Structure 1
Amino acid sequence: MGLTTKIVLAMLLGIVVGVLFNFLDSTQVLGSAVTGFINSYLTGGLFDIVGRIFIASLKLMVVPLVLVSLICGACALSEGGRVGVLAGKTLALYLVTTALAITLALMLAFVFQPGAGMEGLQADAAFEPKPSPPLSEVLVDIFPTNPVDAMAKGNMLQIIVFALLMGYAISRCGEPGRRMASFFNDLNDVILRMVGVLMVFAPYGVFALLANKIAQLGADAIFQLGKYFLVVLGALFLHGLGVYSLLLKLLSGLNPLELLKKMRPAMVFAFSTASSAATIPVTLSTVEKRLGVDNKVAAFTVPLGATINMDGTAIMQGVATAFIAQMYGIEIGLAGYLTVVLTATLASIGTAGVPGVGLIMLAMVLQQVGLPLEGIAIVMGVDRLLDMVRTAVNITGDSVVSTVVAKSEGAFSEEVFYDRNYDSVANGGRVESSPG
């Protein structure tokens, strides 16, 4: 059984167990002693511990993987003078996909009117958003004053800037630079092997995370905001499967189904962790080993995408803005919706390094068009589950942009892309899949 199959089975089993435990807790059919044991020692004990250890292990790999891979990629790109071109293409594509995402979300929200008839929820709304930083501060904070501090705090934008500068300097240092480049290339192979070792335990981590999360959530929150939930979910699937597939076909001529099939392990990881940053090791390995994107491109596009590519979050913002406007009976007009598109697109970069980025970005958008911030409290009930789905959409966008940019730069292998023998990202290498 391939690793991908194991992860998918673990995800499905985790959802089933989580739903079962939530049902037992809400109905008390087995008595309080049994449900207390489940809550204390399984969902709140064993599953919580295993899930948190797995997330911590993934986060452990993020900074060294991004730093070393990006230095290696910057070394190779700087020799050919392609860093600026690559950065321009990548940033432009991420901004375009984000703008398309929020436009699609607003269109669906306008058609299906998820906030109509929801006026009764207003009385229970209470939310105090964190203040959003000014744009000038965000731009200054991109550049590190202390790279060690940036790595300790996991500030991805500052790490990216430092790694690009170091890679560029190494490529311009002659013989010392070649020795350093060789060292970082060897270190990169070691780190990828560490990722492969971690992947062996992935199914257990995915099962524990989902069983614990679904057991806590239950179905009640979804039923209360069913229409909003379905509109956001529909927009996420349309964007993730439709828009990305169309862009990949138009810009590269490649078969989108191949990309979606090979991205399944990374999608499952993103869904279970709800963190693009924590999924970087899996996304990067998948994009390189299964899609055929050269490391010098993937090492730049994937970490940058995990930092600024907020397509899934942009979709939530679009639907949530329309939902809140409809619920409060406030008409923001065409100019207001255009403002939402522009604000959310720019905010996807501007607030990338801020904790709680989704809610802060939504607060910024609502303030911009004059909608009450209390509406955020209403959509928070189902946001955790939707966050899992939109993270999977985000990393799918990262892979599409990486593939398109690599194809345009001649740093792409179609042989690897169409090779169906890549059934796993385990051990950072090729694993033959069994027949059937």
Structure 2
Amino acid sequence: MPAWLQTLVRPLLNLGLIFQISIGIVAGVLLALFAPEAAGSFSLLGQLFISALKAVAPILVFVLVAAAIAGHRQGQPTHIRGVILLYVIGTLLAAVVAVVASFIFPTELSLDLQEVSGNPPGSIIDILKNLLLSVVTNPVSALMDANFIAILAWAIGLGLMLRNSAESTRAMLNDLSDAVSGIVHLVIRFAPLGIFGLVANTLADTGISALLDYGRLLGVIVGCMLFVALVTNPLIVFLKTRQNPYPLVFACLRGSAITAFFTRSSAANIPVNLELSERLKLDPDTYSISIPLGATINMAGAAITISVITLAAANTLGIPVDFPTALLLCVVSSLAACGVSGVAGGSLLLIPLATSLFGISTDVAMQVVAIGFVISVVQDSTETALNSSTDVLFTAAACRAAEERAG
């Protein structure tokens, strides 16, 4: 490498990953604004980055969970129960925030779009049935399809069976875990380039013109997510830890939400969250399980999206919504959100399930889903950023609260 290029690049490499990602975002925006024709040519960088994360995430989760459980000894503390309780409370409160905001800022939709394809589930029973069937999926298929429910189930089962294995077997699992983690660290080092490509291509393709027609709806959704991220979640963390929550909140937003915003996939962001948990010095036995579990069931952003768009549809059709029905919607949205797959746009096809509470036909509901896809450039990105960063936040809160009690 020429000396002048080394002089230029070295200061950038010495910056932290967050600063490098910020530079990538700014560069992507500038390229999309001033040279949109050239921006599309950099889309390959973003595609490679997301594909690499999605490729490594299933095997990483499988190996980490199996190694953590196999190496666990009786009497070692884990905090999974506390984390799961925070996941449930956080998702339910997010739905409540969305319902309250929808009453304060009612929105209406233009239901004149063409229907979109998709097979939404018919009931909560269908969602729970699908989750149970996912648990017993063939493990090879689960790894190939990134079915994290099945991956978790098989990893937990294998880990439990190996708890009494030879020390050399557990050491081999730990070495394998370290090797896969090393690959993940290498992939994440390319995040600035990947996000640069994603930003440039997305802005060049869509711009913001398509979002202006639904600015009020998008404003309510994003406003609810910001409120949950900056008010509700910090309050939950404070009640759990009795400490100032904002240093931890902002650390999780910086370390997780930024990449999740652009990857738009909780599953793809699992490696990022695992590395952040390691940097925060959390309990590996806890975060190796709670992070992939959170990518499946901790869906505050999805609960907000489902609740706000459903109430917007009801308001458009002049359907009155009383308090008991709104409360039921919070519960249904929370349960449905837990069935959202950790991929982009997963929450939108669950909207017909929620609209069925108000007797809205499937044809109309799917038009509402189409509107959701129009605003998904921002909605889905913000939703994923909230979901994924909250996984680390609540894991850290549970771990630190347990450490305080032990200390």
Q: Same fold (TM over 0.5)?
A: yes
* Structure-2 residue corresponding to 1:370: 359
Is 1:203 aligned to residue 217 of structure 2? no
Give, in angstroms, the shift of residue 227 of structure 1.
Answer: 0.8
TM-score (norm 2): 0.88
- Give 1:384 deviation, angstroms: 2.2
Is 1:4 paired with 2:18? yes
Which of 67, 71, 89 is the equivalent residue of 1:96?
89
Tell me the distance in 2 between the aligned counterparts of 1:81 and 1:196. 27
In structure 2, stretches of 5+ residues that fail to align are 1-14
Q: Is the 2:349–2:369 Cα contact (8 Å) retained in structure 1?
A: no
Given the alignment of the two structures, is residue 167 of structure 1 paired with residue 156 of structure 2, yes or no? Answer: no
Q: Select between 104-113 and 188-197 the one with higher mean Cα deviation.
A: 188-197
Q: What is the CA–CA distance in structure 1 between the aligned matches of 2:194 and 2:394, rounded to whole Å?
A: 28
Superposition pairs of residues 50-199 of structure 1, within 5 angstroms: 50-77=45-72, 79-80=74-75, 86-115=79-108, 118=109, 121-124=110-113, 126-132=115-121, 134-135=126-127, 137-173=129-165, 176=166, 178-199=167-188
8 A Cα contact 1:195 1:281, kept in partner: yes
User: How far has the Cα of 1:253 moved from its partner?
Assistant: 2.7
- Contact in 2 for aligned 1:138/1:351 (Cα 8 Å): no
Call closer, same or farther: CA 1:142–1:279 in 2, change over 3 Å.
same
Question: Could you tell me how far 1:207 is from its partner in structure 2?
Answer: 0.5
Instruction: Judge conservation of contact 2:58–2:146 (CA < 8 Å) in 1.
Output: yes
The offset of 1:351, in angstroms, is 4.3
User: Which of 280, 287, 290 is 2:277 aligned to?
Assistant: 287
What SS is found at the alignment partner of 1:385? helix
* Residues 206, 323 of structure 1: alpha-carbon distance in 2 compared, 3 angstrom cutoff: same
1:309 and 1:407 map into 2 onto residues whose CA distance is 19
Deviation at 1:62, TM superposition (A): 0.1
The residue number in structure 1 matching 2:320 is 331
Q: CA RMSD in A?
A: 2.4
1:296 and 2:285 equivalent? yes
What is the deviation of 1:305? 0.5
Quickly say closer, same or farther: Cα 1:281–1:413, change in 2 above 3 A. Answer: farther
Match of 2:12?
none
Query: Where does 1:421-436 land on structure 2 (aligned, <5 Å)?
Result: none
2:30 aligns to what?
Answer: 16
Does the residue aligned with 1:91 lie in a helix, a strand or coil? helix
Distance 2:35 2:103 in 1: 37
Tell me, yes or no, if the aligned pair for 1:15 and 1:211 is still in contact at 8 Å.
yes
Counterpart in the other structure of 2:218 = 229
Partner of 2:294: 305
* CA distance 1:21–1:320, shift in 2 (3 Å): farther
| Distance (Å, rounded) in 2 between the aligned partners of 1:128 and 1:387 | 18
1:321 aligns with 2:321: no
Q: 1:111 to 1:363 in 2, by over 3 A?
A: same
- Per the TM alignment, residue 410 of structure 1 is displaced from its structure 2 partner at its CA by 3.7
**Which AA in structure 1 matches 2:275?**
S
- Unaligned stretches of 5+ residues in structure 1: 23-37, 415-436
Q: 2:8 matched to which residue of 1?
A: none
Number of aligned pairs?
A: 385
**d(CA) in 1 for partners of 2:193, 2:120:** 38
Match of 1:380 in 2: 373
- Matched residue of 2:107: which SS? coil
Retained in 1: the 8 A contact 2:131–2:149? no
The 8 Å contact of residues 299 and 337 in structure 2, kept in 1 or not, is answered as yes
Matched, 1:269 2:259: yes
Q: Aligned letter for 1:138?
A: N
**8 Å CA contact retained: 1:7, 1:265:** no
Displacement of 1:114 in angstroms is 2.1
CA positional deviation for 1:142: 3.4
